[in-house]
Amino acid sequence: MRLTPGHIPFTRLADLAEGRLSPEEAAEERAHLADCKTCSAQAAQLGHLAALMRADASEDAPAELVASAVRMFRARRVQDGQPGLLRRLVAALTFDSSSLQPAFGVRSGQAAPARQMLFSAGDLDVDLRLAPGGEGWTVSGQVLGPCKGGEVELVGADGATAARATLNELCEFTLLPPTPDGTYSLRLRMDSAEVEIPELSLRA
């Protein structure tokens, strides 16, 4: 017997829909449903859901398959000689030497120094150097962090590769040939990650 007026709690309605109440309790709750539109509508929804669940004939996936899928999506590093999932990261600029004040005592007509930029992407950092020259820009740099080799390419706005290089044993690179002025995307592809530096501007 309900001692206080009000709506039937959700858990109680679920017990009613699943047939877990005694005949006396079920009769009491149904008497309330006859006078309460709110509880009656909720009870109807729960009854429909319970009927669908009882009629469901689908089978669970094998436990081994579920465990295998979980392991695959948790994998981040090379295991048993096989590459893990490839992470695709967009690097964020954390330092740019062009924002510093020019040094005193630099003679006019002297070649401009290389511009240094530092980008971060997850547990990787990319130290980038942009050096202007007569034939275009020389782009070089080094990947700092977990790196076991890979390749780098500079892609133009039209999607064509402007320059390409391979990371050496120190994860350093120099892109050749020199690149003309423009805006590019620099992409580094390694075993476990692909890092992109979008909208890299090469302009005097």
Same domain for 91 and 51? Answer: no
| Backbone torsions φ then ψ of 61, nearest 5 degrees | -65, 150
pLDDT given for residue 101 in this prediction: 56
Same domain for 96 and 31? Answer: no
Same domain for 90 and 187? Answer: yes
What Å distances lie between residue 135 and 43, 74, 132, CA to CA?
A: 78, 47, 8
**pLDDT exceeds 60 at position 195:** yes
More confident residue, 126 or 102: 126
Same domain for 128 and 44? Answer: no
pLDDT given for residue 80 in this prediction: 44
Rounded Cα gap, residues 124 and 150, in angstroms: 13
Work out how many domains the chain is built from and give that number: 2
**pLDDT exceeds 80 at position 144:** yes
Q: How confident is the model at residue 137 (pLDDT cuts 50, 70, 90)?
A: very high
What Å distances lie between residue 65 and 61, 71, 74, 121, CA to CA?
A: 7, 10, 14, 33
More confident residue, 82 or 98: 98
- Give the residue-averaged pLDDT of 11-26: 88
**pLDDT exceeds 80 at position 125:** yes
Residue 71 lies in a domain: no
For residue 115 the two structure tokens come to: 């511009």
pLDDT given for residue 102 in this prediction: 55
Residue 60 is given by DSSP the state P
For residue 48 the two structure tokens come to: 């429909």
For residue 156 the two structure tokens come to: 């133009």
pLDDT given for residue 16 in this prediction: 87
pLDDT digits (tens, 9 = 90+) for 34-79: 989 888 888 888 888 888 877 877 777 787 777 777 766 665 444 4
Identify whether the C-beta of residue 42 lies closer than 8 Å to the C-beta of residue 50. no
Same domain for 93 and 193? Answer: yes
Same domain for 123 and 179? Answer: yes
Same domain for 45 and 133? Answer: no
- Give the residue-averaged pLDDT of 155-178: 91
Residue 3 is given by DSSP the state S
Residue 174 lies in a domain: yes
- Give the residue-averaged pLDDT of 17-26: 88
Same domain for 174 and 126? Answer: yes
Angle in degrees, CA 197, 203, 204, rounded to 5: 140
Q: How confident is the model at residue 112 (pLDDT cuts 50, 70, 90)?
A: low
Rounded Cα gap, residues 154 and 184, in angstroms: 6
**pLDDT exceeds 60 at position 164:** yes
Same domain for 117 and 193? Answer: yes
Average pLDDT score, the chain: 82
Q: How confident is the model at residue 81 (pLDDT cuts 50, 70, 90)?
A: very low
Q: At 175, which CATH number? A: 2.60.40.10
Domain extent at residue 19: 10-55
**DSSP labels, 12-58:** HHHHHHHT-S-HHHHHHHHHHHHH-HHHHHHHHHHHHHHHHHHH---
SS3 139: strand
What Å distances lie between residue 128 and 15, 25, 68, 163, CA to CA?
A: 65, 74, 40, 15
**pLDDT exceeds 60 at position 24:** yes
- The set of residues, in sequence order, having a beta carbon less than 8 Å from that of 45 and lying 6+ positions away, is none
